[in-house]
Chains A and B, each alone.
Chain A
Amino acid sequence: MEPTHLPATNFQDLAWAILLLPLVSALAITLGLRRNRELTTTLSLSAVGIGFGLSVWLFFLYGVSGERLAATPLSWMSVGSLSAHLGLTVDPLSTLMLMVVTGVSFLVHVYSTGYMEDDPEYPRYFASLGFFTFSMLGIVLSDNFVQTFIFWELVGVSSYLLVGFWYEKPAAADAAKKAFLTNRIGDFGFLLGILIVWAATGTVSFDAMAAKLKAEPGILGAAASLAGVLIFLGAVGKSAQLPLHVWLPDAMEGPTPVSALIHAATMVAAGVYMLCRVYFLLDLPAAWPAALSFLGSISALDVIAWTGALTSLVAGVIAIQQDDIKRILAYSTLSQLGYMVMAVGCGGPDAAMFHLTTHACFKALLFLGAGAVIYACHHEQNIWKMGGLAKRMPVTFWTFLLATAALCGLPVLSSGFYSKDAIFAAALASNRPVLFGIGVLVVGLTTLYMSRLVIIAFLGESRSEAASHAADPGRNMTLPLLILAVPSVSLGWLPVGAYFKSAIFPGAVTHSAEGFSDVFFEPFNHSPLGAFLGFGLMAFGLSVAFATYWGAAMDPMPGHLPRLSRALRNRLYFDEIYAATLIPLHDAVAALADWVDRWIVQGLFVRGISGGMDLFGRALRLVQTGNLQTYAFLFVAGVALVVLLALK
């Protein structure tokens, strides 16, 4: 469907305002308001708050009616066949995502007014948060690859600024650097993928590209699958998929509300969102260039689906033996992102977006809850030093519990149940039973590590002095928890899945669950196998967790399964393997280049020449010259030669 180009109507103004408000607030804070905390708070909260209000308006004005609009673009750069502009696309996909991003961002802003209250660099924090929100919205609204790439990089930069917010702490500074560089590996592939599709279609605009592809399905030729995989590589970086997932757990060094925003609901979701936006490029039959022809009939979607499934499984396993509350949630995020990516690969971008939406709510809630716990326990992050928090922090506990239920996929009473079920259904529908099996198995793992977390941190007796004095934080921090709990429970009762189906596959006949009761019981009709197996594994995970951790003073697993436990605690040695192979290899190449430069290029070459010139200079010194004169002589000689030749 071609987007309707309308004259300047209000949708444009709305979309521009949503995009630019956080930037304006970030700039104003950076340039002038650094010393004024009240004004900083008012400005950044209202920028994102108004943005959320406008997003809701935009959603009900255009999103639900399925309209596809494109704002008149602003020029960025246009030369030859490269025409890159700053455009905004307002369609069902972007409008819902706008609500998610601005909504979570707003709640995180509110929460941060409490969490970051005592930080001397409070204004810089809010400026960075605003800049991040702007960058993320740029990806959501983008209608072309160049713009997506620009904001993609800006999201990387702003997350660098936020993860490294406490830059004086070496661990935070290192984590920020690692996050940025790991993302850059993905961006490297992403850029090459963009170049391939641009060269083949002559455009970077999504709509024009889709139209070209529709008119001429084989336009990408033998590069089709390669392009798909390279574009996917961008998402592997941003959405922290195997093998580039290593940055996300480290990025927990940033302030906790930042993790709720960028490591749960937005930045890491950008990869999945981008895959759904360009799904028409991924859903192509397998075709590889001659050099890669051994890959045969493996399509880009196959690569995507398997990457997602493995990430989901591996991260779920690692999470079982983490002791840091934020790291458990980080690995859980990896695992859930793996689900979303797997869903895209299984031909279910709508299921991926559905899960992205529910996950944004309940995972943001989990991170904010973890933040409340950390705040209450005086920056203690080890769950073995918490305990008994349920009694002392009831609001935090109950909201955390609801979000945990959603994460585990508790039937009917949680949004996660519905969105996960859509993913399982997609895996079955695409005839990938192994992936379906992995998906269901991960439900068991999820329940295991989350129950472990809840049992140790919240139930039982206090395990430390700090935990015994813990209390719920102030209202500006509990209110966001309560608000997020609502969609975490109930979002699945709305036809979000069907909405995304018609958003991504416009005009496709959808198996529709229209009425409330239809939607309510959808999973049981949809894929009863997934629903019941998932429930069974959930019960199993829960009982294992209770049997192992109820009343345990310390983790029994290292005692029973020492090797496995050690491997998991060392995150399956991914970082160690990189630190022992790729990084030193690249450093060695650099060292070699440096050596050559020092000793061969500068040493022999330059000294050789200068030795020769020295001789020449000595000869010239006979006629009383120094370096400058030598130079002047050469110059004059040259000019004389011109004149000579001219007059000849």
Chain B
Amino acid sequence: MSTLSLLPLLPILGALVILLVPAAYSAAWRGIALGMTGVNLLVATTIFFTFHVGIGGYQMVANHAWVPAIGLNYHVGVDGLSVGLLLVGALVSFAATWVSSEIKSHERFFYVLLLVISGGVLGSLISLDLFFLYFFNELALVPTFLMIGIWGRGADRSAIAFQITLYLSLGALVALVGLIGLYALSGANTLDVVTLAAWLKTHPLPASTQTVLFGLLLFGFGTLVGLWPFHSWAPAGYAAAPTATAMMHAGILKKVGAFALLRAAFPLLPEGVAQWTRILAILCLGNILYCGWVAMRQRNLNLLFGNSSLAHMGFVFLGLASVSLIGITGAVLIMVAHALLASLEYALSGHIYRETGHLELDRMGGLMRRMPFIGAALVAAMLAGCGVPGFASFAGELAVMFGVWPTLPAFVVAAAFGGLLIGGIYMLRGIRQVAHGPDVGTTGGDVPCWTGRIPYLVLLVPLILFGVAPYVLVDRIRPSAALVVERALLKPSPAAPAAPAVAAAPAH
């Protein structure tokens, strides 16, 4: 068994154990969850540092036929696209578990669901069979809906839970249709990306089919990431979610959609890439500009974070749309950085909400004085959120702008405007309102002791380290991104053996 399989296995095992521990030992639930995510963090760190830098293909591969009749394999592996996400996925899981001490009702169920999300996300990131990738992603999505409904904030949390469920289910469904189409029309009789890639190289799908399938995957998976205009579930959903859920979803689960596009849509459907990237570039300006402007108007800290996080996803999509080595490397870099950043933001806002009972900007001020640690971490996170160097997100956004410039310069002008100016305006106005100015509050305090700082530090420190030395990530991402670009730009060779006939048959 590959070490990789531990990543989804341990949390899910932990969830099962928690279910078995009787209520008399309820204190153990949290301990088990922390232990499992902690061990998982060690596993992910080991994987990150034993990963062979400079290799584009999959490493630590395990491949077992599962249902041979339908070509279903338990096929797992890690490459440059996933290795960083696995590490931050484990980090975010650990931090999210740590801050969940705020949960006071149905704790057992909460930690079970949290571990299921963690296992699901990590499972989808290691899957090389798209069926498993999809399955694990769904496994992680369902608990988020339940958690918003049960432990969420605000009177309308059921309505919001319903909205996010609908949105993401529809998105997932559209993506599923795309995957089924890929399965059925390719003739490869599998959703294993390695086999599928080799097969499609010699038996490419007709351009029109590729275009349709790519569109389905783009909008399906895109919705899961919050691609404009299918974005409005995100800010409201995160604002209503309990802290840990918002951290997991905004931090890492959301990235799976973009990751799936890089795994499936871009390398497998080059004709679709050619047709859709222009549209994708236009839509991502919706994220960067429009969601940025919306963020400027928010009067609730979590809605501000939610919209700014959509703007960051716009940079990911812009990087993808460039179909260039620099752009896609930058996009993956942002995904990793933003996982840390978004979960840090929600962890901090969670503390503030717990202490003060609200997140209304107009009723906040002078937090730096009353909560020196949380305030300083918040200022750091918000500066990272408006693209300040020294944080990993800057490196990613810079790379995206460089990568996109040669092909789509006008889009870079808009993106730079959004990132440097709009982002700067809402984040600095936010800091001014929340952390600076006279202290207006009367209740609430800082984290009580140094152990309380751990969940924030395990997110903030890597965010800075990867910002100071982004090459640690970039050197890992680059070879795999190069493979994606190579395949995404592949023109079908005219001498391809009778493939269109095979592939086209089911289409008509």
A, B co-complexed: yes
Which A residues fall within an 8 A CB radius of B? 75-82, 146, 149-151, 153-154, 157, 164, 167-168, 170, 173-174, 176-177, 180-181, 184-185, 187-188, 191-192, 195, 198-199, 586-587, 589-594, 596-597, 601-602, 605-606, 609-610, 613, 627-628, 630-632, 634-635, 638, 641-643, 645-647
Q: Does B200 have its Cβ within 8 Å of any Cβ on chain A?
A: no
Pick the interface stretch among B115-123, B164-172, B266-274, B338-346.
B164-172
Count B interface residues, CB 8 Å. Answer: 85
Choose among A75, A149, A157, A593 the residue with the greatest number of B CB atoms under 10 Å from its CB: A593
Q: Report the nearest A residue to B162, measured CB to CB.
A: A627
Complex CA–CA separation, A35 to B351 (angstroms): 25
Set A164, A177, A592, A631: member contacting B145, Cβ < 8 A: A631
Residues of the B chain whose Cβ atoms lie less than 8 Å from the Cβ of A170: 437-438
Shortest A530–chain B CB gap in Å is: 40
CB of A157 within 8 A of CB of B383, answer yes
Shortest B296–chain A CB gap in Å is: 4
Shortest B88–chain A CB gap in Å is: 18
Set A80, A185, A630: member contacting B403, Cβ < 8 A: A80
Complex CA–CA separation, A639 to B340 (angstroms): 33
Complex CA–CA separation, A315 to B16 (angstroms): 71
Q: Report the nearest B residue to A595, measured CB to CB.
A: B297
Q: Does B49 have its Cβ within 8 Å of any Cβ on chain A?
A: no
CB of A77 within 8 A of CB of B399, answer yes
Given the interface pairs A168-B437, A168-B438, A645-B183, the reply to whether A638 lies near B176 with Cβ below 8 Å is yes
User: Which 5 residue pairs across A and B have the least CB separation, nearest first?
Assistant: A593-B293, A173-B436, A594-B297, A646-B70, A590-B293
CB of A80 within 8 A of CB of B325, answer yes
Complex CA–CA separation, A628 to B48 (angstroms): 36
CB of B470 within 8 A of CB of A76, answer yes
Complex CA–CA separation, A207 to B483 (angstroms): 32
Complex CA–CA separation, A591 to B295 (angstroms): 10
Residues of the A chain whose Cβ atoms lie less than 8 Å from the Cβ of B138: 635
Complex CA–CA separation, A497 to B131 (angstroms): 71
Q: Report the nearest A residue to B169, measured CB to CB.
A: A631
Residues of the B chain whose Cβ atoms lie less than 8 Å from the Cβ of A638: 173, 176-177, 180
CB of A628 within 8 A of CB of B383, answer no
Shortest B283–chain A CB gap in Å is: 13
Residues of the A chain whose Cβ atoms lie less than 8 Å from the Cβ of B163: 606, 610
Q: Does B284 have its Cβ within 8 Å of any Cβ on chain A?
A: no
Majority SS at the chain B contact face? helix
Shortest B276–chain A CB gap in Å is: 22
Complex CA–CA separation, A596 to B420 (angstroms): 23
Q: Does B301 have its Cβ within 8 Å of any Cβ on chain A?
A: no
Complex CA–CA separation, A203 to B172 (angstroms): 42
Residue interface bits B62-74, CB-to-A below 8 A is 1, else 0: 0000000111000
Given the interface pairs A76-B469, A606-B163, the reply to whether A185 lies near B421 with Cβ below 8 Å is yes
Q: Report the nearest A residue to B433, measured CB to CB.
A: A173
Complex CA–CA separation, A606 to B294 (angstroms): 17
Complex CA–CA separation, A632 to B290 (angstroms): 33
Residues of the A chain whose Cβ atoms lie less than 8 Å from the Cβ of B161: 627
Pick the interface stretch among B97-105, B405-413, B446-454.
B405-413
CB of A642 within 8 A of CB of B401, answer no
CB of A642 within 8 A of CB of B402, answer no
Given the interface pairs A185-B421, A646-B189, the reply to whether A590 lies near B368 with Cβ below 8 Å is no
Complex CA–CA separation, A635 to B402 (angstroms): 40
Residues of the A chain whose Cβ atoms lie less than 8 Å from the Cβ of B177: 638
User: Could you name 29 residue pairs across A and B whose Cβ atoms are closer than 8 Å?
Assistant: A75-B471, A76-B395, A81-B326, A82-B402, A153-B387, A153-B388, A157-B388, A157-B390, A167-B435, A168-B437, A168-B438, A181-B421, A184-B421, A185-B421, A191-B416, A192-B413, A198-B405, A589-B293, A593-B293, A597-B290, A602-B236, A606-B163, A606-B233, A609-B170, A627-B145, A631-B145, A642-B70, A645-B180, A646-B183
CB of A177 within 8 A of CB of B406, answer no
Residues of the A chain whose Cβ atoms lie less than 8 Å from the Cβ of B325: 79-80
Known: A79-B399, A594-B297; 7 extra A-B contacts, CB below 8 A, are: A153-B388, A168-B439, A170-B438, A184-B420, A198-B405, A591-B297, A593-B293
Set A78, A591, A594, A627: member contacting B165, Cβ < 8 A: A627
CB of B166 within 8 A of CB of A628, answer no
Pick the interface stretch among B22-30, B352-360, B424-432, B491-499.
B424-432
Choose among B329, B405, B438 the residue with the greatest number of A CB atoms under 10 Å from its CB: B405
Shortest A181–chain B CB gap in Å is: 5
CB of B169 within 8 A of CB of A634, answer yes
Residue interface bits B321-354, CB-to-A below 8 A is 1, else 0: 0001110011000000000000000000000000
Given the interface pairs A199-B405, A631-B145, the reply to whether A80 lies near B180 with Cβ below 8 Å is no
Complex CA–CA separation, A80 to B486 (angstroms): 13
Residue interface bits B443-485, CB-to-A below 8 A is 1, else 0: 0000000000000000000000000011100110010010000
CB of A154 within 8 A of CB of B412, answer no
Residues of the A chain whose Cβ atoms lie less than 8 Å from the Cβ of B173: 634, 638
Q: Does B398 have its Cβ within 8 Å of any Cβ on chain A?
A: yes
